[in-house]
């Protein structure tokens, strides 16, 4: 890989990221705006319990690579949204960010558990 054309992405806030492009040993930063919509529908009386959807105007992926890219971008988007929700809950005194982060981390860590 030619390092002079490498790009890294760093999320810097809700729906904002910086693409850092390395060119001739200089870092060039591009601040970009990301727009994404994902709807999450939770109903414990239904199987599947959680449904994910996109608005009708969103072009669905046409192949496995596009699907993978969309899923990774949606995970980043949901992570950013969760960060904003935790911050707002903490700022407004609804819960502490420490408790919310601990609960979210516990839920995420459950992915590492095996169901024997």
**pLDDT for 9-42, tens place per residue?**
555 555 555 555 544 445 444 445 567 888 889 8
Instruction: Report CA torsion sign: 109, 110, 114, 116.
Output: positive
Residue boundaries of the structural domains of the chain: 59-116
| Three-state DSSP class for residue 42 | strand
pTM: 0.64
Higher pLDDT, 46 or 28: 46
**d(C-alpha 10, C-alpha 102), whole Å:** 23
**66-109 pLDDT per residue, tens:** 999 889 888 888 998 899 999 999 999 999 999 999 999 999 99
What DSSP designation does 59 have?
P
**Structural element, H or E, at residue 63:** none
Largest Cα–Cα distance of the chain, in whole Å? 57
How many CB atoms sit inside 10 A of residue 86's CB? Answer: 19
């Amino acid at each position: 890989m030619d390092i002079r054309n490498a790009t890294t992405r760093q999320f810097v806030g809700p729906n904002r990221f910086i693409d850092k492009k390395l060119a001739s040993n200089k870092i060039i930063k591009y601040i970009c705006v990301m727009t994404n919509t994902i709807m999450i529908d939770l109903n414990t009386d239904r199987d599947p319990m959680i449904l994910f959807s996109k608005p009708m105007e969103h072009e669905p992926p046409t192949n496995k690579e596009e699907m993978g890219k969309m899923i990774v971008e949606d995970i980043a988007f949901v992570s950013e949204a969760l960060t904003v929700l935790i911050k707002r809950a903490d700022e407004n005194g609804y819960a502490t960010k420490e408790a919310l982060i601990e609960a979210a981390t516990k839920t995420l860590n459950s992915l590492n558990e095996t169901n024997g």
